């Protein structure tokens, strides 16, 4: 195939695949199978590899993202992204209507839209191509997340047709559908990792990930609700949105023109019920004046447009009976009370349990078994009890008192001064703590052992094959093959994962041990300062407090953990298995104390190194990376496009500002 034929075929495949993307993700009307789509995508990928001169960032093959990490640059919005003022009742909407009528003396229409609960985004298109995607940020500036947004298949990279403005912005909400969120949580639960709280927070975190390949795998969606620019096709906001739909944008079918306030109220009442049938989260209704000219006349306050308001749905609050209170023991020994309820439907799902968090919550609610309680389900996974209907309480109902002994091993519970939670101190004998420690040990951010998740750990523990972490390294293939739902391949995968974990660096091994208050950052700090497990074991609490970011609580927890003979035995056995318990001599030799005692902040973009690389240099030379400027900041490394607020604050506090070259000279 010559170059001309290749370009023709590449162009044809790109157009065809984008058409299928549009039909599948925007119209929800696929016309070919997933297999056929994948085959066409692979054919295009091969052609682009064979003819790299025809590479295009807007090609369908680029939606998969990449593993390359890149810091996000801050970009100033051409049009400020202001927040909306909120209303919580029909009376407040009526007041909004009255204020508008006092300013404009002509008939007008409202447009009512669903307020999707995700992460706001502003896209810029030039000559029909997506050129920039920026988060809301502080409304004046946001982060450039274009690489990640390109992976979302419902967002057009190239617009359809040719009757669109040469340049315009369109704003919308990036959302994670409920089924995608539930699947993600199911996978996390299976691998023994903490569950995500809600689709909104997960979406916001996802679009700020540095690995766009992971973003692509999250199957985010997007709905658009506002267009800005000079040459827009219509004065009517609603009409412009309908036009944008023909360009390939996903516009909610629920969007509706309302001629008067009563129609607005009807829309609100309808969707207050219907929202539970939607595939994505919504938290209200947005009401806008339809005419762009009238919007301009009405103008803005300092914080929000005068021509729009958000009506916020009330979190659904229902009454049900408290049947009992059970107690769960986590891997750290923290005991969490859970209310068991008479099943009730809230926000479209059947709820049987609600979190009570700790003993103080139970006491403040003055809970009694049999009480009629009010349960609310906002964005969180587990609903919460918000109150008690005392009028329904029978005199014979017994008061709920927090337990005094562990429900699993009957050890007397303890509560440290200043802490809300009760703990079971029997960490090496209490079954949920033992299993929890193993689950934490094998998790992705710790030892990342392939094939070992919560279910497998539970199975190994119940069968007596693994009663602690070191037992995992003694497993044999024949033992694993005989387990339920486990074959030769799965068994070998686990053994290979265990072997590979022996190369995991020391800081992750220390984190994997599950020492209370020793998270990823603290583990890295201890390892960078003390270099070996022997030095950490022998360190006194006073020595540890001298290390930056190590407070008294962390220091006491570390010394207590290593004063326990069983824990020392665990470390010794893991050392025998070949796990990493010190930094290599090469890494130690590479470290210096040139920046010891200095707190350094980085801002802007740089020519020679990325921000991550500069941060590693600071750590390697004994310095401390900080995220915000204070009197304690030693100096600021300034690059291009640094935030003016940081510059202003640095000057105000007299903080030294140096360039990338100045910093590199310090390390020579």
Question: Percentage of the chain surpassing pLDDT 70?
Answer: 94
DSSP codes joined into one string, 595-664: TTT-EEEEESB-SSS-HHHHHHHHHHTT-EE-SS--TT--EEEE-BT--HHHHHHHHHHT-EEE-HHHHH
* Token couple for 275: 């929202």
Class of domain 315-423: mainly beta
Burial of 156: CB neighbours in 10 Å, binned 0-12, 13-18, 19+: buried
Active-site annotation, residues: 115
Query: CATH classification of 592-666 is 3.40.47.10, yes or no?
Result: no
The CATH code for residues 431-503 is: 1.10.150.20
pLDDT tens-digit readout, 43-52: 888 888 888 8
Residues forming CATH 1.10.150.20 domain(s) in the chain: 431-503, 506-589
Calculate mean pLDDT across residues 146-162: 92
According to the model, what pLDDT value does residue 593 have? 84
Residues forming CATH 3.40.50.10190 domain(s) in the chain: 592-666
Beta bridge partners, 227, equal: 170
Q: From CA 565, how far away is CA 196, in angstroms rounded?
A: 36
- Highest mean predicted confidence (pLDDT) among 115-124, 592-601, 650-659: 115-124
Q: From CA 659, how far away is CA 645, in angstroms rounded?
A: 18
Is pTM beyond 0.75? Reply is no
Burial of 152: CB neighbours in 10 Å, binned 0-12, 13-18, 19+: buried
pLDDT tens-digit readout, 209-265: 888 888 999 999 999 999 998 888 789 999 999 999 999 999 999 999 999 999 999
Bigger pLDDT: 251 vs 277:
251
pLDDT tens-digit readout, 562-589: 999 999 999 999 999 999 999 877 777 7
Calculate mean pLDDT across residues 183-190: 79
Residues forming CATH 2.40.50.140 domain(s) in the chain: 315-423
> pLDDT-derived band of residue 267, with 50, 70 and 90 as boundaries?
very high
The CATH classification of domain 506-589, taken from the options 1.10.150.20, 3.40.50.300, 3.30.2310.20, 1.20.140.10: 1.10.150.20
pLDDT tens-digit readout, 3-35: 888 888 888 888 888 888 777 666 657 677 666
Instruction: Report phi then psi at 98, rounded to 5.
Output: -65, -40
Query: CATH classification of 3-64 is 1.10.287.610, yes or no?
Result: yes
Superfamily (CATH H level) for 76-312: DNA ligase/mRNA capping enzyme (3.30.470.30)
Contacts of 458 (CB under 8 A, 6+ apart): 435
pLDDT tens-digit readout, 452-470: 988 899 999 999 999 999 9
């Amino acid at each position: 195939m010559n170059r001309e034929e290749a370009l023709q075929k590449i162009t044809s495949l790109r157009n065809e695949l984008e058409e299928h993307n549009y039909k599948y993700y925007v119209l929800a009307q696929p016309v070919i199978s997933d297999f056929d789509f994948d085959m066409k995508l692979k054919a295009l990928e091969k052609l682009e590899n064979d003819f790299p001169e025809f590479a295009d960032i807007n090609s369908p093959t680029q939606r998969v993202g990449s593993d390359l990490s890149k810091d996000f640059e801050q970009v100033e919005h051409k049009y400020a992204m202001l927040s909306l003022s909120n209303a919580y009742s029909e009376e407040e909407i009526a007041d909004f209507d009255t204020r508008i009528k006092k300013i404009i003396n002509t008939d007008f229409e409202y447009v009512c839209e669903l307020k999707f609960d995700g992460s706001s985004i502003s896209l810029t298109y030039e000559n029909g191509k997506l050129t920039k995607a920026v988060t809301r940020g502080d409304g004046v500036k946001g982060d450039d997340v274009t690489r990640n947004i390109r992976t979302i298949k419902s967002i057009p990279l190239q617009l359809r047709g040719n009757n669109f403005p040469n340049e315009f912005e369109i704003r919308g909400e990036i959302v994670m559908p409920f089924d995608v969120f539930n699947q993600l949580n199911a996978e996390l639960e299976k691998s023994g990792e903490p569950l995500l709280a809600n689709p909104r927070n997960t979406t916001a975190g996802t679009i700020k990930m540095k690995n766009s390949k992971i973003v692509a795998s999250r199957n985010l969606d997007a709905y658009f609700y506002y267009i800005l620019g000079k040459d827009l096709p219509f004065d009517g906001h609603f009409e412009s949105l309908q036009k944008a739909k023909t360009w390939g944008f996903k516009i909610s079918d629920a969007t509706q023109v309302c001629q008067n306030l009563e129609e607005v109220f009807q829309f609100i009442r309808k969707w207050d019920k219907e929202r539970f049938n939607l595939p994505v989260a919504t938290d209200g209704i947005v009401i806008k004046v339809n005419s762009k000219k009238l919007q301009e006349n009405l103008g803005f306050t300092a914080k929000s447009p005068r021509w729009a308001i958000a009506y916020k749905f009330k979190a659904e609050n229902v009454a049900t009976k408290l049947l009992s209170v059970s107690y769960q023991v986590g891997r750290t020994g923290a005991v969490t009370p859970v209310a068991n309820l008479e099943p009730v439907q809230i926000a479209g799902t059947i709820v049987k349990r609600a979190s009570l968090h700790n003993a103080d919550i139970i006491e403040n609610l003055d809970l009694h078994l049999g009480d009629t309680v009010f349960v609310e389900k906002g964005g969180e996974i587990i609903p919460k009890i918000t109150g008690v209907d005392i009028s329904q309480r029978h005199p014979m109902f017994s008061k709920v008192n927090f337990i005094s002994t562990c429900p699993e091993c009957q050890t007397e519970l303890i509560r440290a001064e200043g802490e809300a939670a009760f703990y079971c101190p029997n960490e090496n004998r209490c079954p949920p703590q033992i299993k929890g420690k193993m689950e934490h040990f094998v998790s992705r951010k710790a030892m990342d052992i392939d094939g070992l998740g919560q279910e497998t750990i539970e199975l190994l523990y119940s069968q007596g094959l693994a009663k602690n972490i070191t037992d995992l390294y003694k497993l044999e293939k024949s033992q694993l093959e005989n387990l339920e739902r486990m074959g030769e391949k799965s068994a070998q995968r686990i053994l290979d994962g265990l072997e590979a974990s022996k190369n995991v660096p020391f800081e992750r091994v220390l984190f994997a041990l599950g020492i209370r208050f020793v998270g990823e950052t603290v583990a890295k700090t201890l390892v960078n300062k003390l270099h070996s497990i022997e030095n950490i074991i022998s360190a006194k609490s006073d020595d540890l407090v001298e290390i930056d970011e190590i407070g008294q609580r962390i220091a006491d927890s570390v010394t207590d953990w290593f004063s326990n003979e069983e824990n020392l035995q665990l470390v010794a056995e893991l050392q025998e298995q070949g796990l990493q318990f010190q930094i290599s001599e090469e890494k130690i030799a590479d470290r210096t104390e040139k920046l010891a005692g200095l707190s350094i902040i980085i801002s802007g973009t740089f020519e020679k190194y990325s921000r991550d690389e500069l941060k590693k240099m600071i750590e390697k030379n004994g310095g401390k990376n900080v995220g915000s400027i204070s009197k304690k900041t030693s100096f600021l490394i300034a690059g291009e496009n640094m935030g003016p607020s940081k510059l202003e604050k640095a000057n105000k506090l007299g903080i030294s500002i140096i360039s990338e070259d100045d910093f590199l000279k310090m390390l020579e």
